[in-house]
Amino acid sequence: MIEVILLIAWLVIFSIIVAATYQLHHSIKELKVEGNYEKADVIQTSQNWFYALIVIASVCGIGILYLFLKGTIYESHFFEWLNLTVRLIHITFGIAWIGASFYFVFLENALNRTEGVRDELAGNLWAVHGGGFYYVEKYKLAPKKIPKHLHWFKYEAYFTWLSGFCLLAIVYYFNASSYLIDPEVLDLLPSTAITISISSLIIGWVLYDQICKLLSNNKVVFTLSITALVFLFAWFYAQVFSGRAAYIHFGAFLGTLMAANVFFTIIPGQKRMVAAAKKGLPPNPEDGKAAFLRSYTNNYFTLPVLFVMISNHFPSTFGNSYQWLVLIGITLGTAGVKHYLNVREKGELSVWVMPISVIILFGMAFMTAPTPPKYENCQEIVSFTEVQTIINNRCTACHSSNPTDAIWKVAPNGVKYDTADQIYNLRDKIFQRVVVSKNMPFNNNQTQMTKEERDMINCWINQGAPK
Ligand code: HEC
């Protein structure tokens, strides 16, 4: 009953918001035709707030839809599409954000600062792209007159963070006991785990912010402190969450620092710079310095965050017994690659940065390699029939064209073990999940596979997987 009332209320409110937004759109168009641009600009701003309202109302609408679907056979389907939608939004904004950030770092590095540069400029740059020629100038301080249409780059960052946090909630908070918590790591209650997750992001930001404020004068001390903080969090998450959740949280931690840098430091600083320039005053150099420092660390965080975003596909990384060390290694290696790109764009010579980064990354591939065959542990030859029986008992509840599982109505990731061929062809992946990372059967070994069964699969693979 309550959901029906909510639905009707929602329909009314949503229609009003949409109608009002449309009306504003119309007025802006008319004002522009009349040539009243100033008033059109004012209305444009309020229209932006209405767009925000539409987004908020849509989120509420999805919440109400969930009330209807909760407990029905459509519940997991609902979550799958919610996951898909939010993930797509997340990567789209993320690409826009990182793309813009890479572009501006490139501009900064590649700017022509010497030839034919006017006095008020820091440099300029010519580029050709998409069939057109572009010419960009960077000012030393602010231009004499702030142009009316000044483009800001902030919503990419905000929406990447917001959608990322929603995704974290959809995947890890709603399914805390299967995804976030691993009783073998730490047997947490879902509410405790979620509290740790959220507070770690806040504490991480406070610590990072203090380091930036207090230690930025000494470059070596600053770099070492930030590195230590980042390593500490990689280690910490591995002590509390499941392997994959620990990795995603490390990415969420770095992503939070990056977005908070934009929100709390970079954009407010730029707003003060614009306000000063409008009054004809010189900008406060501290604002510029702080913004530079934050952009600088963001730049090194990008590749590690991108790795974390795809890490869930690679169980050999998050499934390793020293997974936090692997994460630290990959963070160092990928940040090193970014450093090389920065140095190269500046045209400076760097002999060691790239080789060392590649060696570290190779080291991680080496470290996560499966242990070599141990024939001595296998007393008898394991036959394929025995393997097939194990898989039928422990896996086909989910991995089948007709899963019997209560939640998984479609074979997860399309992986099915109905026939002998299907099992045989996917033997490497079975070995990976059952023996190496041990994170199947899903949901904390839901179908209760025994250690003997895992050993038998191990032996079968090590005996050359006879069919
Ligand atoms: C309770 C349901 C369930 C059971 C039982 C289960 N799985 Fe899974 N499996 C999943 C889900 C969900 C995924 C996707 C999430 C993931 O990759 O961790 C998955 C993914 C996989 C993948 C990764 C496929 C890919 O494309 O990367 C493999 C391999 C796998 N399972 C093997 C097994 C094996 C072998 C067993 C039996 C020992 C098993 N699973 C039992 C639910 C299950």
Cβ atoms within 10 Å, residue 389? 13
Nearest 5°: CA angle at 51, between 49 and 54? 115
- On whether the CB atoms of residues 39 and 31 are closer than 8 A, the answer is yes
Q: Which residues of 286-323 are buried (b: 16+ CB within 10 A; e: fewer)?
A: ebeebbebbbebbbbbbbbbebbbebbebbbbbbbeeb
Residue nearest ligand 1's atom 14 by CA: 412
Ligand 1 midpoint to CA 88 (Å): 23
CA max distance for the chain:
90
The atom number, within ligand 1, closest to the CA of 453 reads 38
Residue with tokens 């950030």: 101
Ligand 1 midpoint to CA 56 (Å): 35
Is the model more confident about 447 or about 370? 447
Structure-token pair, residue 100: 């813009």
User: pLDDT tens across 162-183, in order?
Assistant: 999 999 999 999 989 889 999 8
Q: Is 448 left (phi over 0), alpha (psi -120 to 50) or beta?
A: left
CA distance 280 to 274: 10
Give every CB contact of residue 402 below 8 A, 6+ residues apart in sequence.
none
Half-sphere exposure in the Cβ direction for 54 (13 Å, CA)? 14
Q: Is 152 exposed, middle or buried (CB count within 10 Å of its CB: 0-12, 13-18, 19+)?
A: exposed
pLDDT at 45: 87
User: pLDDT tens across 357-414, in order?
Assistant: 999 999 999 999 876 655 557 778 889 999 999 999 999 999 999 999 988 888 998 8
Whole-number mean pLDDT of the chain? 92
Mean pLDDT of 295-312: 94
CA distance 417 to 400: 6
For the chain, what percent of residues have pLDDT higher than 90? Answer: 69
Give every CB contact of residue 92 below 8 A, 6+ residues apart in sequence.
none
CA distance 86 to 173: 15
CA distance 140 to 425: 62
pLDDT at 378: 78
Residues with CB under 6 A from ligand 1: 394-395, 397-399, 405, 408, 412-413, 415, 429-430, 433-434, 440-443, 446-447, 449
The atom number, within ligand 1, closest to the CA of 408 reads 2
Rg (CA), the chain: 27
Ligand 1 midpoint to CA 423 (Å): 13
Ligand 1 midpoint to CA 339 (Å): 37
Residue nearest ligand 1's atom 18 by CA: 442
CA distance 29 to 387: 70
- On whether the CB atoms of residues 391 and 447 are closer than 8 A, the answer is no
pLDDT range class, residue 19, cuts 50, 70, 90: very high
Ligand 1 midpoint to CA 185 (Å): 20
User: pLDDT tens across 58-103, in order?
Assistant: 999 999 999 999 888 888 899 999 999 999 999 999 999 999 998 9
Ligand 1 midpoint to CA 402 (Å): 15
Half-sphere exposure in the Cβ direction for 367 (13 Å, CA)? 20
Cβ atoms within 10 Å, residue 12? 10
User: pLDDT tens across 237-282, in order?
Assistant: 999 999 999 999 999 999 999 999 999 999 999 999 999 988 988 8
CA distance 74 to 76: 6
The atom number, within ligand 1, closest to the CA of 414 reads 26
- Residue 428 carries which side chain, given as an amino acid letter? D
Mean pLDDT of 204-223: 95
CA distance 313 to 85: 19
CA distance 84 to 210: 36
